Structure formats: C-alpha cells, structure tokens
C-alpha cells in the first residue's frame, strides 16, 4: 500500500451489502468525513478478482514462474494505485469503496489487502429490498428468474443469498467488521453514526448528518440519493403488497429473517 509522509496509514474501508440496502447512503456519509473519500462504485475489482478466482489463470501464471503471493501483490499495487490516487486528488488521507457486487469477491479482496482492511456491512428488511428490486428491474435478478421463477420470489432469494455471504464473511473476519441495520441508521443517525466512526478510528463531526451539503462525485449509484439533504427513513414500502404476498416471501427466507431479527 502506498505510504504518506510521516502519517499513520489507517486501513481501507469496504462497504458491503445487498443492492437496495442503503449502501449508497452509507457511501455518501463516509465521503462526507474530512478524512475519508468514498467514490461511486469503482466496479473494476469485480473483474480483477476473477484473475485470482480462476484456477486456469493461477495455473498459467504459476507456469510462468509467478507465485500466488506475486499475483496478490500485483493486484494490490494495481488497486491501490487508483484508490490512493483518488484520495490524493481529494486531499484526504483515507479511502473507502462501496460496490455492491464486491460482496461476491470479499475473500479475494481480503487476501489482496493481506487482511489489513475493515468492513462496514449494512442490512435492510428483506421485504423492502425485494420490493425495491422488483420496482427497479435490476439485472441482478436475471439468474434467479431464468427458470421462470416469480420475480418477487427471485428478489427475496437474492436478498437471502447475498446476506448469507455477508454474515458468513462477518463471522470470518470478526472484529474487522461492523454491521449496521438500515432502519437504525435512518431513524437514529445521531447515535449510530458516531459508533461507526469510532469503529473506524475517526473523529465524529455532526456536519456529516447533512451529508449532501458536501460535494460527491457522480457515478454508478442510485441517482435519487442526491435529492435528499439529510438522512431520512424510508422503509415499510413492502406493505403495499397484499399480506398474503408478504407472508409468502417471508416464509421463503424465514431463517435469514430470523437471523437478522426482522418480522413482518
């Protein structure tokens, strides 16, 4: 990782969560901190990770005389070049990233950074996530509806699978992971956010509550986030569905709902 002159280098931050769980809100909050820069979704690590995750790629590079450690080192240098460069352009000492598909590559990312990275995970009520996914027609559901599965069922199955990855990874990295609920974040930001920044070893600043008072670079993210001038609750939309639909989806992912403490 690139060093800065005589300054403590704190670990990078990755925001992890299923799509439509509040990751974009959390990204802008982090980006509002005077010490942290968090760009829109960087995306490139999704493809880069596949180099390490593909056996033929590893075998090919090993046949050329390069070890697994060599591969990870080059991936780390490539990645930090862009993130450190971006942080420098914003005159901030620390970078974070929020790219939802990175949840599918967390073990690789953790290896790339030699386990010297911290994570903030965010979860949201599965029925709200499913409602939003169905409303926006996001492509992440394509593998789930390829066999004709009902879109609502596909959405709740996707939510269940993504959060299973999230919680399993949390259990693996333990104290390098901080989990927050979207509902708590948006209803109690004055108490939730200071705790998050304490975990990150960064000072709290009340100005962050008005995160859109700060300038944020546009990119791959929910464009509606720019319409809010402060943190506002937005949940319970799934109640527009008939109660029979709510119960059917709830039962489909019952164990995950219980694991996260969500009820109808």
> For the chain, how long is the longest CA-to-CA vector?
61
The three state secondary structure string of 69-107 is HHHHHHHHHHHHHHHHHHHHHCCCCEEEEECHHHHHHHH
Question: What sign does the CA torsion over 75, 73, 92, 33 have?
Answer: positive
Is residue 120 classed as helix, strand or coil in its secondary structure? strand
Domains of the chain by start residue, with CATH: 13-125+174-233 (3.40.50.300)
Task: Report residue 222's pLDDT band, with 50, 70 and 90 as the boundaries.
Answer: confident
157-184 confidence digits (pLDDT tens): 999 999 999 999 999 999 999 999 999 9
Q: For strand 13-16 and strand 94-98, is the pairing parallel, antiparallel, or unpaired?
A: parallel
Which region holds residue 60: left if phi is over 0, alpha if psi is between -120 and 50, else beta?
alpha
Kindly state the helix (H) or strand (E) to which residue 136 belongs, with its residue range: helix 126-136
Whole-model pTM: value is: 0.93
Residue 226 has a pLDDT of 74
Residue 96, beta-bridge partner list: 13
Residue 227 banded pLDDT, cuts 50, 70, 90:
confident
> What is the C-alpha to C-alpha distance for residues 182 and 199, in angstroms, rounded to an integer?
17
- The span from the CA of 25 to the CA of 189, in Å, is 12
pLDDT in tens, 74-106: 999 999 999 999 999 999 999 999 999 999 999
Residue 230: pLDDT over 90: no
Segment 182-206 mean pLDDT: 97
Rounded Cα–Cα distance for residues 64 and 60 (Å): 7
Query: What pLDDT, in 10s, does the model give residues 119-154?
Result: 999 999 999 999 999 988 778 999 999 888 999 999
pLDDT tens for 48-80 read 999 999 999 999 999 999 999 999 999 999 999
Residue among 46, 27, 45 nearest 37 (CA)? 27
């Amino acid at each position: 990782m690139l060093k800065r002159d005589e300054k403590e280098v704190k670990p990078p931050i990755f925001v992890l969560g299923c799509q439509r769980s509040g990751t974009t809100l959390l990204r802008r909050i982090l980006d509002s901190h005077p010490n942290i820069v968090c760009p829109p979704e960087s995306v490139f690590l999704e493809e880069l990770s596949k180099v390490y995750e593909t056996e033929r790629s590893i075998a090919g590079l090993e046949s050329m005389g390069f070890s697994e450690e060599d591969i990870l080192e080059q991936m780390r240098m490539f990645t930090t070049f862009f993130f450190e460069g971006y942080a420098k352009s914003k005159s901030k000492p620390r970078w974070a990233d929020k790219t939802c598909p990175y949840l599918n590559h967390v073990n690789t990312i953790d290896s790339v950074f030699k386990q010297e990275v911290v994570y903030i995970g965010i979860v949201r009520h599965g029925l709200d996530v499913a409602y939003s996914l169905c409303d926006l027609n996001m492509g992440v559901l394509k593998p789930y509806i390829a066999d004709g599965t009902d879109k609502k069922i596909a959405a709740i199955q996707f939510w269940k699978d993504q959060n299973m990855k999230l919680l399993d990874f949390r259990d693996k990295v333990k104290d390098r992971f901080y989990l927050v609920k979207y509902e708590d974040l948006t209803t109690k930001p004055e108490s939730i956010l200071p705790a998050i920044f304490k975990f990150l070893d960064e000072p709290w600043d009340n100005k962050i509550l008005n995160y859109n008072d700060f300038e944020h670079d546009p990119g791959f993210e929910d464009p509606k986030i720019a319409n809010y001038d402060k943190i506002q609750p937005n949940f319970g939309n799934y109640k527009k569905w008939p109660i029979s639909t709510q119960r059917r989806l709830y039962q489909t992912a019952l164990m995950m709902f219980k694991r996260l403490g969500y009820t109808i």
